[in-house]
Amino acid sequence: MKKIIPIVILVLVIGSIAFTLFNNKQEMAVKAEEAMKTTEFIPVRTEVVGKSYVNVNFTSNGTFEANRELNLQSEASGKVVKILKRKGDEVKEGQLIAQLDDELLQSELVIATLTFEQSQKDLERYKNLSGTDAITKKQLEEIQNSSKTAEAQLNMIKKRISNTRITAPIPGYINDDHIEIGTLVSPGMPLLDIVNTQPLKLSIQVSESEIAQISVGDTVLVKAGVFPDKEYKGKVTYTSSKGDASLRYKVEISLKDEAADLKPGMFGYATFNYDKQEAIMINRKSLISGLKNPEVYVVEEGKARVKAIKVASIGQDQLVLLEGLQEGEKVITTGLINLKDGVAVTEL
């Protein structure tokens, strides 16, 4: 009998432990089930799509460029015998900069001039005789052709002499030169660079939404990085009709003479200010992909649904909705990391 009692006690202890373990397992199962239930709905925050008035203001940077730049090349062969303007000098359009040796050409000009004048006299005499039987029609045609040939040769000599005079095709400053007295030049050889900085222009690139606001003739506020406290007024003189591979469009802004302290190559930026416009805005953080193929999650019947949209950037955080959503729809802005199309959500 005494041996039976410890066995009974042992059975009761084992049974108690087993019962406790079973209860713990049941409780864990219940808790796990409850945890699963709570994760069936992902908590998110949303914003209702709606129209608002926005300031269409934006700033774009770029570099200042010369109004016109020219790399002047030689059209003739010869030796440089005279230089009238050097690097850094100002030149006017048509002003003589340098002279090539034209001594032989001047001699050819004398001969060509005499030949042409003689052909004109012969032609006049043959015309007077054309009404008689003294010359034939063929002889008259030959002297006419000879006169035309002499005139063409004279014009060619004059052109070759003109090419020995290196003149400025545009006004501006000689930014660099590549000749000295005695330099032998040939056709196509670079002679000097002329830069016309008036008016100076700022070349920038803008987005597709920004180019839609800009028109030729718009007044723009311009600043230069080297003079941060100074402001210049500019006018839009050019907008590109086609964007590049990254959908950026070129815009050129001409500055007035007051920007004479600026030089080509300096950094600058332009600020555009336009009237408020009504538009549907969404927050940039609601995008689940890049601006090239933008998509967002919206809440439909308690579930997250992916929608492709079209937007235009108008600031660091704001996007203008162009297509894809309707007013009143709810766009998910936070909790995006765990979302998938069709997942149930709960709004916080």
Q: What is the DSSP letter of 18?
A: H
Q: Where are the alpha helices (DSSP H) in the chain?
A: 4-38, 103-129, 137-163, 208-211
CA distance between the termini of the chain? 68
Among 245-249, 313-317, 322-326, name the one with the lowest average pLDDT: 313-317
Q: Quick one: 210 exposed, middle or buried, by C-beta within 10 A (0-12, 13-18, 19+)?
A: buried
Domain-located, residue 297: yes
Peptide bond into 199 cis (omega under 30): yes
User: Phi and psi dihedrals of 67, rounded to 5?
Assistant: -65, -40
Q: Quick one: 213 exposed, middle or buried, by C-beta within 10 A (0-12, 13-18, 19+)?
A: middle
Q: What is the mean pLDDT of residues 78-96?
A: 94
> pLDDT band at residue 36, thresholds of 50, 70 and 90?
very low
Domain limit, last residue, from 276, 295, 317: 276
Domain-located, residue 92: no
Residue 290 and residue 333 share a domain: yes
Tokens standing for residue 62 = 């770029």
* Contact partners, residue 172, CB within 8 Å, separation at least 6: 66, 68, 70, 90, 91, 194, 195, 196, 197
pLDDT of 236 above 90: yes
- The confidence score (pLDDT) of residue 109 equals 95
Domain-located, residue 282: yes
- CA dist 87 and 65 (Å) reads 19
Residue 236 and residue 209 share a domain: yes
Average confidence score pLDDT of the chain: 85
* Residue whose tokens read 């709960």: 346
Domain-located, residue 13: no
Select from 333, 249, 233 the least CA-distant residue to 287. Answer: 333
Residue 296 and residue 311 share a domain: yes
Residue 202 and residue 226 share a domain: yes
- The confidence score (pLDDT) of residue 103 equals 94
- The confidence score (pLDDT) of residue 284 equals 83
pLDDT of 1 above 60: no
Number of domains in the chain: 2
- Helices 137-163 and 103-129 cross at an angle (nearest 10°) of 160
Domain-located, residue 328: yes
Domain-located, residue 85: no
Which neighbouring-strand residues pair with 238?
A: 252
Domain limit, last residue, from 276, 293, 325: 276
CATH number at residue 268: 2.40.30.170
**SS3 label, residue 191:** strand
Q: Write the CA distances from 346 to 45, 136, 287, 326, integer angstroms.
A: 8, 110, 19, 21
> pLDDT band at residue 100, thresholds of 50, 70 and 90?
very high
Q: What is the mean pLDDT of residues 119-146?
A: 84
Domain-located, residue 130: no
Residue 334 and residue 290 share a domain: yes
Q: What is the pLDDT of residues 191-202, one digit of tens each?
A: 999 999 888 999
- CA dist 65 and 204 (Å) reads 10
Residue 256 and residue 282 share a domain: no
Domain-located, residue 307: yes
- CA dist 215 and 61 (Å) reads 18
Select from 84, 88, 87 the least CA-distant residue to 97. Answer: 84
Contact 202, 236 (CB under 8 A): no
Q: Write the CA distances from 19 to 7, 16, 330, integer angstroms.
A: 18, 5, 51
Residue 285 and residue 218 share a domain: no
Q: Write the CA distances from 99 to 80, 93, 103, 158, 186, integer angstroms.
A: 6, 16, 11, 15, 13
Residue 304 and residue 248 share a domain: no
Residue 256 and residue 220 share a domain: yes
**SS3 label, residue 111:** helix
- The confidence score (pLDDT) of residue 216 equals 93
The whole domain housing 301 covers 42-54+278-347
Q: What beta strand segments (E) does 181-308 contain?
A: 184-185, 190-196, 201-206, 219-224, 227-239, 249-255, 267-283, 295-300, 303-308
Residue 247 and residue 201 share a domain: yes
Residue 287 and residue 271 share a domain: no
Residue 260 and residue 214 share a domain: yes
CATH number at residue 50: 2.40.420.20
- The confidence score (pLDDT) of residue 13 equals 54
Domain limit, last residue, from 214, 248, 276: 276
- CA dist 161 and 99 (Å) reads 10
